[in-house]
Structures are given as structure tokens and as C-alpha cells.
Amino acid sequence: MSGCSHDETEKTQLLDELVAIADDQRAIKEERQMASSAVKEQALTATALIRDETMQRASKRKSVDGDDDVTTSKKEMALIVVQQAEIDLEKQRLEYKKLKLQAGVNEQALARKERAEMREIELKRHTDLCRNLRLRATSQHKHNLGGAVESRAMLGGVLISWRQN
């Protein structure tokens, strides 16, 4: 009875640990993918910004009209400012996602640690209960044997006194 329950507890504990490890690996993989996509997106954004700046400079060189260059460069500067703001916003979003994922991983680790501690407590309680049951059974067995000896001795004493009568 206790051996079966003990085996089941160990199996449950091992399965819980395997599930927790699999969840952690999945979260780490997702975090890496998000970081990788963020780096790629940042590189694409930077490339687009460089391309736009290069095109702006090239158009300035080709342009003959000075007034047109001033208005175009103002528009281009506004576009660059907007693009930079978008890049900064995207960086903040990615940082937030990264922190959120890390918090999730930390929370899972804490939950896994708490579950392990609870399993340890349950296992100790189970072990103590089994030990107490064994001690009680051993003590009961000794008591029963002692009573039988006393009964025999008393029975022998009665027989001897009976014989003497």
C-alpha cells in the first residue's frame, strides 16, 4: 500500500519536473525567436533609414532649384524624425516584451520551486506516516507476543497449582 503510493508520488514528481522543464524550454525558445525577429526588424528599419537618407542626399545633389531643396529637406527631416520615433517606440515595445517574458520565466521557476518544496513536504509526511505505522505495528506485535507468554505462564501456574490440589 505505502510502496505503491510512494512510487506514484515519485512518478508524479518526475512528470511535474519534466513538464516544468519543457515549459521553460518553450518559453526560452519563444524569447530567442522574438529577440531574433526584433534584431532583424531593427536591421531592416535601420537599412530603410539609411536608404532614405542616401536618396535624400542624392536628390539634393541633382536638384538645381534651391527653394525646392529647402522644402524637400524639411519634409525629409520630418520623415526621418517620424521614422526615428517609430524605431524608438518599437525598441520600447520589444524591451517590454522581453521583460514580460523574463517575468513569466521567473514566475514559472518560482512556481516549479514551490511545487518541488510541496512535494518534499508531502514525501516527508508520507515517510513519517509510514515509519509511525511500522513502529506501531512492531510495538503491537511485541505486545501480543508478550501477552501470550504471560498467558502461558499464568496458564502453567494455574495448571501447576491445580495439579497440586
Q: What is the mean pLDDT of residues 25-38?
A: 88
pLDDT value of position 89? 94
Asked whether residue 20 is domain-assigned, the answer is yes
Task: Answer for the pair 24, 108: CB distance below 8 angstroms, yes or no.
Answer: yes
Q: How far apart are CA 27 and CA 25, in angstroms?
A: 5
Q: How many helices (H) and strands (E) does the chain have?
A: 2, 0
Task: Answer for the pair 101, 30: CB distance below 8 angstroms, yes or no.
Answer: yes
41-56 tens-digit pLDDT: 888 888 888 888 888 8
- Show the domain range for 128: 2-134
Domain count along the chain: 1
pLDDT band per the 50, 70, 90 thresholds, residue 6? low
Asked whether residue 124 is domain-assigned, the answer is yes
Q: Can you read off the three cell numbers belonging to residue 26? A: 518553450
Task: Answer for the pair 49, 90: CB distance below 8 angstroms, yes or no.
Answer: no
81-131 tens-digit pLDDT: 999 999 999 999 999 999 999 999 999 999 999 999 999 999 999 999 888
The pTM assigned to this predicted structure is: 0.38
Unique residue bearing C-alpha cell 517575468: 103
